[in-house]
């Protein structure tokens, strides 16, 4: 997503231009157009980009392949670890480019194996990633990653929204979340293996559902998807990657052209007025616009759109809401994930009772929808994707502002 001015609030969405086309096969942009410090992002560069960089440095092009292996196959944490490159080249790389793996600030491990990572970017911002082993069966391990520092979308039920948007993450910072977590799992002896595909993998699925609205950082996210699905590195099939959006309509259409990843939509409301109350993005792109874009989305055979519906007591969880959801989603090949709200002390919203959640599910199922109540993982560590515990967020915000942290 390109924008000359930083986006800091949901009101700013009204002046956000539509995402610009991402050039196919060209080198990735190396300079963010947000207020991120200008750096050459090694992990965000494709082969052509690495070749251009090397030529700019007076080096031979062929070294780009070696670089790719170090960056994405071996996933080294430092340029100094690239042992078959000359010291002179390593020094040049360190001076002119950067490896933007975020570093681990804190890890919390749930009794169910979920690991929540608080990560720090190279310029000191806190983001999150959540590792979910055996997420939908044995051997299927997901990582939920962030796409922005904070978020501009202002969903009223979301703890991340209180941070506002600081900046988009660069492609290498998105890719680096996976690599940092993989290194940690290996170091801790926690890297389970998988038979999915030829390679043994500790992460078999990626979901862009952490901090930020992925389609607001369109260029960064698509560039990172190309790294995840490329010849080098983890080589994930596109259908093992899910991009979750609150409904940035113009970018939905582009995503269907530029990638073949799975798409998930945060629905969270059954009519415009109610949805706009909890998701201000609905004032810019209402349900008609959103569902229209989804009808035009080039959904592959045997794929389904996932709709996420956070159930908020007394807000969107009535029988009427359920019946309206059925009507809205009737035209789609889809699944509906019902997510009872993960309440936190600073939120005015409450989780509906179990009976209410099941009543809602009964109605939507009777209406023909494939509806699942999503089991909450990592309850004991507040690990819901996109919802770092409010207390942690407040602490992170205060730290970022240089304020003392009140426990």
Cβ atoms of 335 and 304 within 8 Å: the answer is: yes
Q: If you ran DSSP here, which 8-state letter would residue 70 be given? A: I
Rounded to a whole number of angstroms, the minimum distance from the CB of residue 390 to ligand SF4 is 12
Number of H helices, E strands in the chain: 12, 12
Rounded to a whole number of angstroms, the minimum distance from the CB of residue 168 to ligand SF4 is 13
Cβ-based neighbours of 45, under 8 Å, separated by 6 or more: 27, 28, 30, 53
155 near ligand SF4, judged by CB under 6 A: yes
DSSP string, 367-381: TT--EEEPPPP-GGG
Rounded to a whole number of angstroms, the minimum distance from the CB of residue 193 to ligand SF4 is 32
Q: Which stretch binds ligand SF4 (CB under 6 A): 59-67, 155-163, 224-232, 327-335?
A: 155-163
Cβ atoms of 145 and 208 within 8 Å: the answer is: yes
Q: Which stretch binds ligand SF4 (CB under 6 A): 36-44, 90-98, 146-154, 301-309?
A: 146-154
Q: 71, 153, 169, 336: which one contacts ligand SF4 (CB under 6 A)?
A: 153
- Which entry of 51, 128, 308, 394 is annotated as an active-site residue? 128
Rounded to a whole number of angstroms, the minimum distance from the CB of residue 403 to ligand SF4 is 22
What would the two tokens of residue 291 be?
């569902």
Q: Which stretch binds ligand SF4 (CB under 6 A): 38-46, 128-136, 157-165, 175-183?
A: 157-165
Active site residue 385: yes
390 near ligand SF4, judged by CB under 6 A: no
169 near ligand SF4, judged by CB under 6 A: no
Rounded to a whole number of angstroms, the minimum distance from the CB of residue 221 to ligand SF4 is 13
Active site residue 128: yes
336 near ligand SF4, judged by CB under 6 A: no
Closer residue to ligand SF4 (CB): 66 or 156 = 156
Residue 204-243 contact track with ligand SF4, rule CB under 6 A, x = bound: -------xxx------------------------------
- Which entry of 144, 158, 334, 385 is annotated as an active-site residue? 385
Q: Which stretch binds ligand SF4 (CB under 6 A): 110-118, 148-156, 183-191, 391-399?
A: 148-156
Q: 68, 114, 160, 361: which one contacts ligand SF4 (CB under 6 A)?
A: 160
What would the two tokens of residue 166 be?
């600081």
CA distance 153 to 162: 10
Q: 386, 393, 394, 395: which one contacts ligand SF4 (CB under 6 A)?
A: 386
Cβ atoms of 250 and 213 within 8 Å: the answer is: no
CA distance 361 to 156: 23
Cβ-based neighbours of 298, under 8 Å, separated by 6 or more: 256, 257
What would the two tokens of residue 258 be?
């530029």
User: Mapping DSSP to helix (H, G, I), strand (E, B) and coil, where does residue 340 land?
Assistant: strand
Closer residue to ligand SF4 (CB): 386 or 389 = 386
Residue 54-83 contact track with ligand SF4, rule CB under 6 A, x = bound: ------------------------------
| Buried/exposed 24-44: b ≥16 CB within 10 Å, e otherwise | eeebbbbebebebeebbbbbb
Cα three-residue angle 12-33-212, rounded to 5 degrees: 55
Closer residue to ligand SF4 (CB): 160 or 180 = 160
Rounded to a whole number of angstroms, the minimum distance from the CB of residue 374 to ligand SF4 is 15
Place of tokens 């560069």: 45
Q: 71, 158, 243, 322: which one contacts ligand SF4 (CB under 6 A)?
A: 158
* Four-point Cα dihedral 380, 381, 384, 389, nearest 10: 120
265 near ligand SF4, judged by CB under 6 A: no
Q: Which helix (H) or strand (E) covers residue 49, if one does?
A: helix 47-56
246 near ligand SF4, judged by CB under 6 A: yes
- Gyration radius of the chain over CA positions: 21
151 near ligand SF4, judged by CB under 6 A: yes
Q: How many residues bind ligand SF4 (CB under 6 A)?
A: 12
Find how far residue 301's CA is from the centre of its chain. 24
Alpha-helix runs per DSSP H in 199-312: 218-229, 249-258, 272-278, 281-284, 287-295
Question: What residues are annotated to the active site?
Answer: 128, 385
Contact residues toward ligand SF4 (CB under 6 A) are 151, 153-155, 158, 160-161, 211-213, 246, 386
């Amino acid at each position: 997503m390109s924008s000359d001015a930083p986006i800091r609030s949901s009101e700013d969405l009204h002046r956000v231009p539509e995402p610009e086309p991402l050039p196919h096969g060209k080198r990735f942009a190396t300079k963010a157009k947000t207020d991120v410090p200008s750096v050459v992002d090694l992990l965000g560069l494709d082969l052509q980009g690495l070749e251009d960089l090397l030529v700019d440095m007076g080096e031979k092009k062929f070294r780009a392949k070696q670089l790719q292996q170090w960056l994405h196959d071996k996933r080294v944490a430092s340029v100094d670890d690239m042992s078959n490159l000359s010291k002179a080249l390593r020094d040049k790389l360190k001076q002119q480019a950067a490896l933007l793996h975020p570093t681990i600030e804190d890890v919390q491990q749930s009794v169910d194996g979920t690991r929540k990572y608080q990560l720090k970017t190279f310029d000191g911002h806190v983001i999150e990633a959540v590792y979910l082993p055996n997420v939908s069966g044995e051997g299927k391990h997901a990582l939920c990653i962030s796409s922005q520092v904070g978020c501009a979308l202002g969903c009223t039920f979301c703890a991340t929204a209180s941070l506002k948007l600081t900046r988009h993450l660069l492609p290498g910072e998105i890719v680096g979340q996976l690599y940092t977590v993989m290194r940690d799992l290996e170091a801790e002896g926690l890297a389970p293996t998988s038979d999915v595909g030829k390679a043994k993998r500790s992460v078999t699925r990626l979901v862009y559902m952490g901090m930020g609205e992925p389609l607001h950082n369109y260029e960064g996210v698509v560039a990172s998807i190309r790294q995840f699905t490329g010849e080098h590195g983890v080589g994930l099939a596109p259908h093992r990657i899910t991009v979750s959006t609150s409904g940035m309509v113009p970018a939905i259409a582009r995503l269907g052209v530029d990638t073949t990843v799975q798409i998930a939509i945060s629905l969270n409301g059954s009519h415009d007025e109610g949805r706009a109350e909890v998701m201000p993005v609905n004032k810019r792109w209402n349900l008609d616009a959103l569902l229209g874009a989804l009808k035009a989305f080039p959904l592959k055979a045997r794929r389904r759109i996932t709709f996420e519906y956070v159930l908020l007591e007394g807000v969107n969880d009535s029988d009427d809401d359920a019946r309206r959801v059925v009507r809205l989603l009737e035209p789609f090949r889809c699944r509906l994930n019902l997510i009872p709200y993960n309440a936190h002390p600073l939120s005015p919203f409450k989780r509906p009772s179990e009976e209410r959640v099941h009543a809602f599910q009964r109605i939507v199922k009777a209406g023909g929808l494939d509806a699942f109540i999503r089991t909450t993982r990592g309850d004991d560590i507040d690990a819901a994707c996109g919802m770092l515990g409010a207390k942690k967020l407040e602490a992170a915000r205060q730290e970022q502002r240089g304020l003392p942290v009140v426990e």
